[in-house]
Amino acid sequence: MGIVCRVDPQDLKAGDHIFSYRAWYTYAHHGIYDEENDIVIHYTRTQPESLSHPPTEPASGGCDICNYQPKAERGVVACCLDCFLNGNSCRSSSLNRFVYGVLPFQFLVSRIGTCSLDQSDAPEVVVRRARRMLIGDDDFGEYHLLDNNCESFATYCKTGKRLSFQAESLKSRAVFLKDKPFSFQNLKTTVAGMVFGYKVVVMINNHYLS
């Protein structure tokens, strides 16, 4: 049976790795909860939007609670929980807590990007890492969808290791789909790739267990 990640905002604790699904559950956005300041520290794109799109003017004002301006702020940023959840009013149904230290069978049957075999560091260590990157004492580098993203940031804050389970799964599936035209046979191969991606992530996790 898979793990349960959904969490009520009132049950959040310092250093929690939280995430919220976007675009009909196709991907998730991750961050670290700073209980003392009641904010979420997370990582966004560092590069400007594609030049194929017209430039977006920053909003004249940010969120009334935290002054966050998602179109204007880049890199490691902080915002209130509502902004992190993308303005979703049903906060308790869209907020999830990433689970660390799960058993291997739990990891195998749970959705990718919801849990890890690794143990989390102490909450004060997690929050300190996130805050240092927020104020610029540590640099998390340039954003990359597969190699350096919001999940990589959150797992780094929790464990000191950069790893994105969503990205590893996508990479493994891409290996199977490369240069192959669409067909029902290739669709089966895609499913096999997804299973393979799961196994790759498990192997990566076990590699880090020491």
**What is the secondary structure of 24-87 as a DSSP string?**
TTTEEEEEEEETTTTEEEEE---SPPPTTSPPPPPPSS--TTT---TTT--SEEEE-HHHHTTT
Q: What are phi and psi of 42, to 5 degrees?
A: -145, 175
Distance CA(73)–CA(143), nearest Å, equals: 13
Q: What angle do CA 158, 172, 165 make, to 5 degrees?
A: 15
The pTM of the full predicted model, rounded to 2 decimals, is: 0.78
CB atoms within 10 A of CB 94: 15
The one catalytic residue in 42, 79, 83, 157 is 42
The question of whether 80 is a catalytic residue gets the answer no
Of 54, 84, 46, the residue nearest 68 (C-alpha): 84
* pLDDT at position 210: 36
Domains of the chain by residue range: 9-164
The question of whether 30 is a catalytic residue gets the answer no
Residue with tokens 């929980």: 81
The one catalytic residue in 5, 66, 79, 150 is 150
Element (H, E) at 21: strand 17-22
In total, the chain counts a number of residues equal to: 210
The question of whether 42 is a catalytic residue gets the answer yes
Distance CA(172)–CA(69), nearest Å, equals: 35
The one catalytic residue in 29, 30, 66, 115 is 29
Question: Going residue by residue through the chain (210 aa), what tens digit of pLDDT does each one get?
Answer: 568 899 999 999 999 999 999 888 888 999 999 999 999 999 998 876 544 444 444 445 688 889 998 878 899 999 999 999 975 544 545 899 999 999 888 888 888 889 998 999 999 999 999 999 999 988 999 998 888 999 999 999 999 999 888 766 665 555 544 555 555 555 455 555 554 555 455 555 555 443
